[in-house]
């Protein structure tokens, strides 16, 4: 331990913008993230909105802003075509709130996940259009549409101008919309290639505001909207969609966390309160494990409109009712997920699949939870996994999740002859196919995975960033500076530490099935509380006389309005005698 501390003290010192010196441990963590200069460190720890790139670096943004601003100036109407996941509902809510501030006539539509499926579909658009007294002039897709060639053609035949905003991998042929916003397009010079759908929608709002300012739209009766108020939606959608937290996304999410603390969105504030989330000090894991699942639950059960209604709620009473409803939806979703996961494991364990490189299950699975079940199977078997759900007319629809080293979109591209359609990105995707093509698809997908990794999978192992005792980490200055590493996610994982001389004074199984542990760790002079999820069976071993080694991370605990730090233990082992 002494050698480690000497090494840390030898690291070149870095400071915050106000001159505060960073702790050696924090500097070590930053260097592991590839930050080498003091300027890079300050941009990372103290990101500023002024460093965001211009929206007009995004291909076709000039055209898109002109399209929308002309519609508004001509008193036209707009239809937002959203998606049912968190990224899609936050994108939809953001543009709804923005256009309403401009007194624009705006409506939205989100397909029913269970009966209509993902994205812009010509049949659903036709049904919606026929049901309206006055058709909208401009159709804007959010978080979808990049592959909807036939639906866009149909929309234009119906008389819509079409603007596609998306972030999923574009196909080789550009979708025939009037304008397409997607930072992943080959001709796009925008530096933030990993924007979520809600990030693209936010950038569209910036550009439209700019275009309207140039056309003198704003005057004494119309104030220029402050778009920072929408960054809470951007933060939630970005973290929930698990895109890489590159420099652009990091700025957006950090600013969004500040907006969350201001409690300007009644619906989000209510959801935080009912979820026991400290919105004044929100963390990325609060979004991932508390807020996002509840917002997502509505869409998984076919009623995503409830999530959009909550996100644009104006009444505390309405927000409370909607939040309670989402809680109930999430509990139902959990039950369905557990049943489907057990059924999928039974299918795998039966040995009927017979593929070495991938897992593809098909049957009476719930399409609303297919992605979660696929993620759980990936965690269980450490292979790319697809969960396919039987639909009417002999069609299978499903979701895929991947592992490090296997690009799902590329693998599915190799199988396109047997697919009715597919879309997504490297780690997550969706697809549909005819049931008679299932066996051929399974074989081709397995071969496509093998061609990428040669059958060699990167095994998931518990790693740690530093040998640091709990006592070292639980110093006030260290904990405060660790918080500045937020938000965590892909590209910036939460720091994990190892302590090789831990003594427990308490290890009590908790939870409905006693599968978790409530812990107390002593350093001889004080007690530090902890929690270990999924390690309930290790209570007896923890209280033995021998010192233990733990892999852990510090975690805030918020209970009855009081905030404290606890040790989140990920792994416990006996030290060799």
- Condensed to tens digits (0 to 9), the pLDDT of residues 202-223 reads 999 999 999 999 999 998 788 9
Most distant pair of Cα atoms in the chain: their distance: 80
Place of tokens 């075509």: 81
Q: Cα separation of 351 and 341, whole Å?
A: 16
CA atoms within 13 A on the CB side of 301: 22
Q: Cα separation of 288 and 383, whole Å?
A: 23
> Which of the two residues, 514 and 91, has the higher pLDDT score?
91
Look at residues 512, 504, 549 and name the one whose alpha carbon lies nearest to residue 530: 504
How does strand 395-401 pair with strand 385-390? Answer: antiparallel
pLDDT grade for 526, boundaries at 50, 70 and 90: confident
Those residues whose C-beta lies under 8 Å from the C-beta of residue 96, and which sit 6 or more positions away, are 80, 106, 108, 308, 312
pLDDT grade for 17, boundaries at 50, 70 and 90: very high
The alpha carbon of 374 is separated from its chain's Cα centroid by a whole number of angstroms, namely 16
Q: How far is CA 427 from CA 8, 80, 89, 141, 192, in A?
A: 35, 27, 21, 22, 18
pLDDT digits (tens, 9 = 90+) for 267-280: 999 999 999 998 88
Q: Cα separation of 45 and 30, whole Å?
A: 9
pLDDT confidence of residue 430:
92
Does residue 398 surpass a pLDDT of 70? yes
**CATH T-level assignment (fold) for domain 55-324:** inorganic pyrophosphatase (n-terminal core) (3.90.1640)
Look at residues 100, 128, 96 and name the one whose alpha carbon lies nearest to residue 112: 128
Task: Write the Ramachandran bin of 478: left for phi over 0, alpha for psi from -120 to 50, otherwise beta.
Answer: alpha
Pick the CATH number of 462-577 from 2.40.50.460, 3.40.50.970, 3.50.50.60, 3.40.640.10: 2.40.50.460
> Which of the two residues, 345 and 3, has the higher pLDDT score?
345
In eight-state DSSP terms, residue 19 is -
In eight-state DSSP terms, residue 175 is P
Helix, coil or strand: residue 551: strand
Q: Cα separation of 370 and 439, whole Å?
A: 19
Does residue 424 surpass a pLDDT of 50? yes
Report the Cα–Cα distance between both ends of the chain, in Å, rounded. Answer: 19
- Give the pTM: 0.89
Class of domain 351-453 (CATH, top level): alpha beta
Beta strands (DSSP E) in 88-155 are 105-109, 138-142
Q: How far is CA 55 from CA 111, 181, 256, in A?
A: 28, 10, 18
The alpha carbon of 473 is separated from its chain's Cα centroid by a whole number of angstroms, namely 28
Q: Cα separation of 149 and 216, whole Å?
A: 36
pLDDT confidence of residue 10:
43
Q: Cα separation of 138 and 450, whole Å?
A: 44
Q: What single string gives the DSSP state of each residue in 413-450?
A: HTTGGG-SEEEE-SSEEEEEEEGGGHHHHHHHHHHHHH
Does residue 288 surpass a pLDDT of 90? yes
Q: Cα separation of 49 and 163, whole Å?
A: 26
Mean model confidence pLDDT for the chain = 92
Highest-pLDDT range among 23-37, 199-213, 401-415, 499-513: 199-213
Task: Break the chain into its structural domains and give their ranges.
Answer: 1-43, 55-324, 351-453, 462-577
Which tokens is 218 given? Answer: 């704003």
Those residues whose C-beta lies under 8 Å from the C-beta of residue 121, and which sit 6 or more positions away, are 111, 148, 151
pLDDT grade for 91, boundaries at 50, 70 and 90: very high
Does residue 456 surpass a pLDDT of 90? no
Q: Cα separation of 336 and 364, whole Å?
A: 12
Place of tokens 């350093």: 523
């Amino acid at each position: 331990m002494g050698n480690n501390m000497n090494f840390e003290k030898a690291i070149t010192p870095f400071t915050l913008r106000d001159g505060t010196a960073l702790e050696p441990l924090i500097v070590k963590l930053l260097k592991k993230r590839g930050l080498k200069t003091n300027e890079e460190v300050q941009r990372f720890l103290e990101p500023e909105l002024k460093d965001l790139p211009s929206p007009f670096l995004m291909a076709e943004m000039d055209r898109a802003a002109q399209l929308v601003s002309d519609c508004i100036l001509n008193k036209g109407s707009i239809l937002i075509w959203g998606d049912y996941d968190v990224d899609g509902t936050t994108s939809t809510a953001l543009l709804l709130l923005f256009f309403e501030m401009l007194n624009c006539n705006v409506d939205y539509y989100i397909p029913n996940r269970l009966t209509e499926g993902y994205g812009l579909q010509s049949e659903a658009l036709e049904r919606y259009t026929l049901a309206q007294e006055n058709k909208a002039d401009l159709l804007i897709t959010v978080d979808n549409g990049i592959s909807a060639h036939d639906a866009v053609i149909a929309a234009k035949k119906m008389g819509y101008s079409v603007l596609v905003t998306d972030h999923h991998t574009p196909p080789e042929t550009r979708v025939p919309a009037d304008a397409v916003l997607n930072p992943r397009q080959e001709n796009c010079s925008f530096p933030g290639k990993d924007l979520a759908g809600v990030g693209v929608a936010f950038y569209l709002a910036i550009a439209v505001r700019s275009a309207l300012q140039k056309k003198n739209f704003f005057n004494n009766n119309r104030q220029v909207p402050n778009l920072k108020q929408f960054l809470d939606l951007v933060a939630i959608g970005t973290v929930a969609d698990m895109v890489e937290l590159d420099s652009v996304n990091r700025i957006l999410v950090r600013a969004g966390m500040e907006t969350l603390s201001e409690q300007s969105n009644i619906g989000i504030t209510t959801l935080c309160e009912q979820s026991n989330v400290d919105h004044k000090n929100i963390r990325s894991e609060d979004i991932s494990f508390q807020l996002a699942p509840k917002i997502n639950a509505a869409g998984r059960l076919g009623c995503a409109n409830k999530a959009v209604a909550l996100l644009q709620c104006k009444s505390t009473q309405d927000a409370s009712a909607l939040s309670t409803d989402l809680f109930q939806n999430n509990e139902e979703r959990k039950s369905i997920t557990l049943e489907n996961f057990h059924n999928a494991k039974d299918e795998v364990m039966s040995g009927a699949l017979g593929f070495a490189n991938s897992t593809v299950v098909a049957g009476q699975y719930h399409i609303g939870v297919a992605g979660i079940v696929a993620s759980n199977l990936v965690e269980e078997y450490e292979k790319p996994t697809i969960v396919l759900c039987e639909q009417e007319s002999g069609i299978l629809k499903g979701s895929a999740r991947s592992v490090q080293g296997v690009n799902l979109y590329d693998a599915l591209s190799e199988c396109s002859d047997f697919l009715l359609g597919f879309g997504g990105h490297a780690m997550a995707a969706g697809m549909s196919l005819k049931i008679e093509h299932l066996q051929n698809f399974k074989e081709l997908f397995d071969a496509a995975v093998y061609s990428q990794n040669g059958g060699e999978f990167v095994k998931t192992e518990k790693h740690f960033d530093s040998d640091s005792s709990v006592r070292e980490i639980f110093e006030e200055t260290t904990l405060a500076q660790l918080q500045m590493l937020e938000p965590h996610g892909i590209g910036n994982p939460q720091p994990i530490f190892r302590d090789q001389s831990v003594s427990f004074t308490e290890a009590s199984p908790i939870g409905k099935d006693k599968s978790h542990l409530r812990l107390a760790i002593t350093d001889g002079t004080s007690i530090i509380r902890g929690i270990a999820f999924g390690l309930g069976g290790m209570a007896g071993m923890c209280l033995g006389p021998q010192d233990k080694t733990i892999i852990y991370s510090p975690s805030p605990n918020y209970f009855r309005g009081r905030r404290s730090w606890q040790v989140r233990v990920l792994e416990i082992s006996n030290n060799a005698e």
